[in-house]
Chains A and B, each alone.
Chain A
Amino acid sequence: MRALVFLVYLFLYAPIALVVLFSFNAGRSASEFTGFSVAWYGKAFSNTFLVQALSNSLFIAAASAALAAVFGTMAALAIERMGVRMRLVFEGLFAAAIVVPGVVIGIATLVALAAVFSILNPVIAGIWPGESPPQFGLGYASIIAAHGLFSMAVVTMIVRARIASLGRDIVEASDDLYATPFGTFRQIVLPQIMPSILAGFLLAFTFSFDDFIIAFFVAGSNTTLPIYVFASIRRGVTPEINAVATSVLVASLILILAARLLMREKKTRPLGED
């Protein structure tokens, strides 16, 4: 039994460990370790295409995570105020959004965006006073929109769990102590759900930063880091890609760890008990 467990973990982590190992390989080979070196990291981060893809990815991840955090929190707050039946419906919809495969989200977003653009662009062209009307097309904005939508469901689920554990009575107490509804939100609700919003933001950031499938559908001619990596391995796996993959892995792990720490409930004595 124990050997089996060992094999499972070996199967899971050995490829990743190899990628990390060979990112420090001195030579070009992907099968023969010839000496320790960080040269491939230097090479990777002086590759302008790669750096461009990386900065695209960081910008898209930050923007989509920020959108997801704001709208996800708003959705979680709205769900809290619904009746039981509506709440179940919306919670179900958000849970469904998380389990829908990326391919489906990618295609669906592409089709939806194409439809919107085909209606919007002629209209704008018709009313545009100047010579060259702006054309909406696939690009950063469409990736941000697609990632933001998906991540919003994640943020909503996380924040919703925290709100549900808050308890109605501290909100009522603030209400009773002359705080306006916005005052209660700012002084009581927001400070208490802030860690879960941050956790949601970090998970959304990680998701967007790592996502290949959805981005591949809606990126148009733009390149994110995963798309760049995918394109370049068709020309063969180089230690440069290993270096990039290792960097992404470490960054993602740090973000996910931070999110876990934020989501961990503070251990406090329950109120009202001795």
Chain B
Amino acid sequence: MTSAANDVEFRSVSKRYGEVRAVSDVDLAVPKGAFVALLGPSGCGKTTCLRMIGGFEQPSEGTVLVDDRPMNGVPPYRRPVNMVFQHYALFPHLDVEANVSYGLRQMRPRIDRREVARRTGEALELVRLGGYSARKIHELSGGQQQRVALARAIINRPSVLLLDEPLAALDRKLRTAMQIELQSLQRELGITFVLVTHDQEEALSMSDFVCVMNAGRVVQMAPPQEVYDRPGTLFVADFVGKTNRLSGVVEAGGRTLRLADGRALPVSSQAPGAVTAVLRPEAIAIAHGEGDGLAGTVTHRIFLGNAVEYAVAADGIGEMLVTADRSAAQTLADPGDRVTLRFAPESLLVFPT
């Protein structure tokens, strides 16, 4: 371990496959000990970035640094980095113990056998698989295999742990449990985690920083709350969370958004011009009957237990999605009901078009 401020750094990194640019001119700094999620749609270059940190791909241009050391040309087996593979990539001919101790057994000079056994036991305890050391890999469930893959990586105490969609193969309940487990493991070990995911919920719930990628570029890197509340671009707003879109023109003075049908909405000060405004479903309050605000008719209701989602046909605007907290709405609106939608001017996220 060094005293570097960043564990992973990308300096204008590009990766081309023939004519295709998978990653274009990415600059990225992952602070030491942080949990960073690379989030984006498939084909956005996030996996390629992860594989360049691991050493499975070499950048076409630029430099990837790990622990402040440039990694150009350094093969995976000489990098202080370990990876949890998407399909775990456990060694099927080895038992759990031999899988987990594999990394330690590659070290030269050799680590004492008792030391290897002790640390393997520790790593298995850490992922709550104590007593499973003699099991065959194919005897384990998906969740257990996942934890073996995790133990096999963290036993080596890498500077950086890479996770390639680690939860994609698990069912929903197990996924939530593993999210919490991963997060507490990361706090406990203090190792930098870099996670690749296309699941925004996963990225938001676990990480200290979310790095949103699109078409081979980093669009925004910020703490999860900031990415959600103050998305840098329309793409981020759309990709992270649900949105309602309103197009219109911000009038001179920057206080009024004039919609296509002539209606005026108040906005917090904006540069004048054509814009797309985005409104989160939970930023909208729904009230029975007509009143001050946008009037509309409920078309669908989805009951989620802790919340209710409505699709509302707002007059002159079109379909809008509204998420109502259960505590706020005592009586549920039914499809066909006339309702009024209200929201604070600050909750309109405005992007020039």
Instruction: Report A's interface with B, CB cutoff 8 A.
Output: 167, 169-170, 172-180, 183, 187-188, 191-192, 268-269, 271-274
Contacts and interface: CB of A to CB of B under 8 A. Distances in A.
Contact of B90 (A183, A187, A271): A271
Contacts of B142: 272-274
| 7 smallest beta-carbon distances between A and B, as pairs | A169-B89, A173-B89, A177-B103, A178-B106, A274-B142, A272-B87, A268-B138
A162 to B, nearest CB: 13
A268 B92 contact: yes
B56 to A, nearest CB: 6
Nearest to B54: A176
A269 B145 CA distance: 12
Contacts of A173: 83, 85, 89-91
A179 B143 CA distance: 26
Contacts of B56: 172, 175-176
B145 A272 contact: yes
A178 B107 contact: yes
A177 B169 contact: no
A188 B85 CA distance: 16
Contacts of A192: 92-93
B82 interface: yes
A191 B93 contact: yes
Contacts of B75: 175
Contacts of B156: 177-178
Given A175-B75, A177-B102, A170 B138 contact: no
A47 to B, nearest CB: 47
Given A271-B137, A271-B145, A272-B145, A172 B89 contact: yes
Most B CB contacts (10 A, CB to CB) among A170, A183, A188, A271 go to A271
Contacts of A180: 77, 106
B331 interface: no
Nearest to B158: A176
Contacts of A172: 56, 76, 83, 85, 89
Nearest to B174: A274
Given A169-B85, A269-B138, A174 B91 contact: yes
Interface of B: 54-56, 75-78, 81-83, 85-93, 102-103, 106-107, 137-138, 141-143, 145, 152-153, 156, 169, 171
Nearest to A192: B93
Given A173-B85, A176-B81, 20 more contacts: A167-B89, A169-B85, A169-B89, A170-B90, A170-B91, A172-B56, A175-B55, A176-B54, A176-B56, A176-B77, A177-B152, A178-B78, A178-B106, A183-B106, A187-B102, A269-B138, A271-B92, A272-B88, A273-B142, A273-B169
8 contacts: A169-B86, A172-B56, A173-B85, A173-B91, A176-B82, A179-B77, A271-B87, A272-B86
Given A271-B88, A272-B145, A274-B171, A177 B93 contact: no
A247 B38 CA distance: 66
Nearest to B138: A268
Contacts of A169: 85-87, 89
B110 to A, nearest CB: 12
Nearest to A180: B77
Contacts of A170: 89-92
A179 B75 CA distance: 11
Contacts of B92: 170, 192, 268, 271
A183 B54 CA distance: 18
Most A CB contacts (10 A, CB to CB) among B85, B89, B90, B137 go to B89
A184 to B, nearest CB: 8
Contacts of B83: 172-173, 176
Nearest to B82: A176
B85 A174 contact: no
Contacts of B55: 175-176
Contact of A271 (B78, B138, B152): B138
A187 B98 CA distance: 11
Nearest to A183: B106
A269 B83 CA distance: 23
A178 B77 contact: yes
A188 B76 contact: no
A206 B89 CA distance: 36
B142 to A, nearest CB: 4
A173 B91 CA distance: 9
A134 B92 CA distance: 52
Contacts of B88: 271-272
A178 B80 CA distance: 9
B102 A174 contact: yes
Contacts of B145: 271-272
A271 B89 CA distance: 8
A189 to B, nearest CB: 11
A173 B222 CA distance: 30
B106 A272 contact: no
A172 B88 CA distance: 11
Contacts of B153: 177
Given A172-B89, A173-B91, A274 B141 contact: yes
A110 B89 CA distance: 49
B340 to A, nearest CB: 47
A268 B136 CA distance: 10
B53 to A, nearest CB: 11
A261 to B, nearest CB: 17
A268 B85 CA distance: 20
Contacts of B87: 169, 271-272
